[in-house]
Amino acid sequence: MKQVLVRQGEVVVHEVAAPLVEPGTVLIRVAASCISVGTEMTGVQASGVPLWKRALAQPAHVKRVVDMVASQGIARTFDFVRGTVGAELPIGYSAAGTVLAVGEGVEDLSPGDRVAGAGAQCAFHAEVIRVPRNLCVPVPDAVGVDAAATVTLGAIALQGVRRLAPTLGETFVVVGLGLLGQLTVQMLKANGCRVIGLDLDPKRADLAVQLGLDLAVGAEDGPVSVQVQRLTGGIGADGVVVTASSASSEVLNQAFRMCRKKGRVVLVGDVPIAIDRGDIYAKELDFLISTSYGPGRYDRRFEEEGADYPVAFVRWTENRNMLAYLDLLAAGRVTVAPLVGARYGLDDAPAAYAALKSGDKPLMVLLDYPDAPVPAAGRVVNPRAAAAVSGALRIALIGAGAFAKAVHLPNLKAMGDAVTLRAVISRTGHGALVLARQFGAAYSATDVEQAFSDPEVDAVVIATRHDSHGSLVLRALEAGKHVFVEKPLALTADELDAIEAFYAAHPQGPVLMTGFNRRFSPFAKRILDLLANRSAPIAMTYRMNAGHLPHDHWTHGAAGGGRNRGEACHIYDLFTALTGAECTQTQAVALTTGGGHYRRDDNFSASFTFADGSIATLLYTALGSADYPKERMEVFADGKVLSLDDYRRLTIAGAKAKGLDLGLPDKGLAATMTAFVEAARGKADWPIPLWQQVQASRMALAVEKVLHPEVTAP
């Protein structure tokens, strides 16, 4: 299918793989999408800003780059940043069309229904989009697809009006008569209000008058606050809605000066917030922020996972605002046809954006989509693919997230002729396309079956979210592919049982390797050398200063499986590697801090006993500071103490043996991938025996029973 992408200030239309429907989502064949002249053009222009200027504006990103240099070196960081900055990104967030398919759990929509979709993370300018149910609404029969395509803008304007809480007969000022301002004027009129408009462009003011604006004021007629006082009989406006975009804080302060005592100001647009106390204190004004299209916005549980807010407690969510806006269109109380400044076909999207850079910008532009057969979710061939090398391991990457991009793909690329990247598979076609082009894959796709059924794929690297690992591993093994899967191997005992059953039936089956990289670090290898001739069991302590994650972080949810199964499993594998023995006993205790800031599985201690008599304890905590090193391990063996500090330094007490001190931390990520490739090529044994991979996962499940007894209890 075709999709609009933006790269370094330029807009292009590329062929990408169509998305697949997923549980809780709706697959939509787009008929029209709305280009937001303000928001989208800001994004396009920002993508063309030089890197050094972006750095000055976003110091938090600079810190992340500095941290990456410290952990991975300048060369790798430079390649990552260059790839990120140069990547083609999706654009668009308001569209309408027809339902192609609905995912599991969506019961109120059916294929063929007309719907509108919203969201910068999904409602792209593309022939087919996948939208979570809470960001999708049915379109009334009386509303055309063009009008419905403005659903996001309408919901944003409506939320601003709701924050204003207008009552019949009140007078309001709308500052900025762009698209949001024009919609806001009509909605306030529908509420029985008197509306005054302010804009620097007299054409926009004239259009607003045609759509119901009572009065327009301009700076050329004197201070607007004085004009508003005159037009309201000396009282001042009951409230002001700022829908303008400006770099000046004077816009907001001007809004305060227009208000009566006890008035209110709602900020919808993009202006600096630098408030002069004198403008608001004496009048005791209320200043309110309107967050996009309503409650639910920026809440992953609402938007992505389908959780709803009870209507009795949150009357107007973003989804219900979208519905209400379409109802206003159906009733004729809001109209958008006069606001459409231009229309372009999808193929002409670059020309549409170029027109928006001109002086006389339209308020709104619509993209029309061809009425052609629905694009299949097949392969998109990369014409710039790297030439395949005879004898190389042909790999398909499944999951094109940040870790795969920053770590796995560069590590594979560094292996030269030993590896050929055959395919990149991702949930989003544009994500797969970008990485396929950057790393020279033969094709990109959204359907994993493309890789599983491809005879030219020897192995897969699975770097998806954790809840999909177990099922994808099994499907890949059954397809005869060697498998490298990011930790964890699986989240459930049933998935582990199924993997073990596969190998029981196929003892000579493909290589399976979980990305337990710490055992492949040079430090762990040195420790293993020092323990090779030990005469007694060992005792190990490991401290992980993991840091706090917000409660709504994906790691905590069903997709992540929690911090114990998703991250602590690394350490359970390291314990297994250093003992080489079966774990015979697991004990764990969770720290309950109260207050709700920390979760039960944020802070815990897990202790293990092994068949050779060794013992090990992990202290996992989110209570510490990010300024303190993340990981430390101590191994006590045969009168020696081996101390590992954050994979930077290994010191030894009680023996003359040398430790290890490297300039950069090395957790064994590159060595892990190298070990897998060599094994999959038949040049080495399995890097991690199957029983050890499964054991680390079962140790995590045993700890999980303590952390979440309400979930794991039979």
pLDDT digits (tens, 9 = 90+) for 8-31: 889 999 999 999 999 999 999 999
Please name which of 397, 459, 385, 399 lies closest in space to residue 428, comparing C-alpha atoms: 399
- The pairs formed by 546-550 with CB atoms below 8 angstroms and a separation of 24 or more are 546/602, 546/620, 546/621, 546/622, 546/630, 547/622, 547/624, 547/626, 547/630, 548/597, 548/598, 548/602, 548/622, 549/602, 549/622
Do 95 and 199 belong together in one domain?
Answer: no
Instruction: Report the percent of the chain where pLDDT is more than 70.
Output: 92
Q: Residue 619's pLDDT band (boundaries 50, 70, 90)?
A: very high
* 280 and 341 co-located in one domain: no
Backbone torsions φ then ψ of 547, nearest 5 degrees = 85, 160
Q: What are phi and psi of 173, to 5 degrees?
A: -110, 135
Same domain, 703 and 558: yes
Predicted confidence at residue 80, as pLDDT, reads 55
Using the 3D structure, point to which of 515, 541, 562 is the last residue of a domain.
Answer: 515
Judge if 144 and 166 occupy the same domain: no
Note whether residue 461 is domain-resident: yes
In the sheet where 631-637 sits, what is the strand order? Answer: 583-590, 604-610, 615-621, 539-545, 631-637, 640-645, 649-653, 660-661
Residues with Cβ within 8 Å of residue 356, at least 6 apart in sequence: 35, 37, 41, 362, 365
Is 177 a member of any domain? yes
Q: Band of the pLDDT at 219, cuts 50, 70, 90?
A: confident
301: which residues sit within 8 A by CB, 6+ positions away?
307, 552, 557
Helix (H) or strand (E) holding 164: helix 151-164
- Interval 164-201: pLDDT, tens: 999 999 999 999 999 999 999 999 999 999 999 999 89
The CA distance from 545 to 705, in Å, is 22
Q: pLDDT for 489-537, tens place per residue?
A: 999 999 999 999 999 999 999 999 999 999 999 999 999 999 999 999 9
Choosing from 486, 515, 544, the residue where a domain stops is: 515
Residue 449 and residue 544 in one domain? no
- Single pTM value for the model: 0.89
Q: Over 70: is that where the pLDDT of 713 sits?
A: no
Closest Cα partner for 124 from 429, 546, 567? 429
Instruction: Give me the helix-helix angle, 202-210 and 179-190, nearest 10°.
Output: 30
Query: Which residues face 460 on adjacent strands?
Result: 396, 483
For 352-365, write each residue's pLDDT tens digit: 998 887 767 788 89
- Whether residue 714 is predicted with pLDDT greater than 80 in this model: the reply is no
pLDDT reported for residue 642: 98
Q: Specify the pairing of strand 89-90 against strand 25-36.
A: unpaired
Helix axes 224-231, 250-258, angle to 10 degrees: 20
Region 421-448 average pLDDT: 96
Q: Are residues 214 and 351 in the same domain?
A: no
Report pLDDT for 664.
86
* CB-count burial class (<10 Å; 0-12, 13-18, 19+) for 69: middle
pLDDT for 25 equals 98
pLDDT at residue 53 tops 80: no
> 184 and 262: one domain?
yes
> Quick check: is 483 in a domain?
yes
CATH code, domain with 644? 3.30.360.10
Write the pLDDT tens digit of every residue in 676-692.
Answer: 999 999 999 999 999 99
548 and 671 share one domain = yes
Q: What is the pLDDT of residues 287-326, one digit of tens each?
A: 999 999 999 999 999 999 999 999 999 999 999 999 999 9
**Same domain for 498 and 524?**
no
Mean pLDDT across 538-548: 97
Is 331 part of a structural domain of the chain? no
- Given 264, 289, 314, the domain boundary residue is 289
d(CA 636, CA 190): 76
**CA atoms lying within 13 Å on the CB side of residue 306:** 14
Helices and strands per DSSP (H, E), number in the chain: 26, 31
- Pairwise CA distance, residues 39 & 46, whole Å: 11
Question: Are 165 and 239 members of one domain?
Answer: yes
Instruction: Determine the structural domain holding residue 80 and report its residue range.
Output: 2-150+336-368
Asked if 156 contacts 120 with a C-beta cutoff of 8 angstroms, the reply is: no
Residue 408 has pLDDT above 60, yes or no: yes
Same domain, 539 and 687: yes
Share of residues in the chain with pLDDT > 90 (%): 82
The pLDDT value given to residue 82: 52
When divided into structural domains, the chain yields a total of 4
Mean pLDDT, rounded, for 643-666: 93
Do 664 and 556 lie in a common domain? yes
> What's the average model confidence in pLDDT over 61-70?
56
Residue 84 confidence (pLDDT) above 70: no
Question: Does pLDDT of 52 surpass 90?
Answer: no
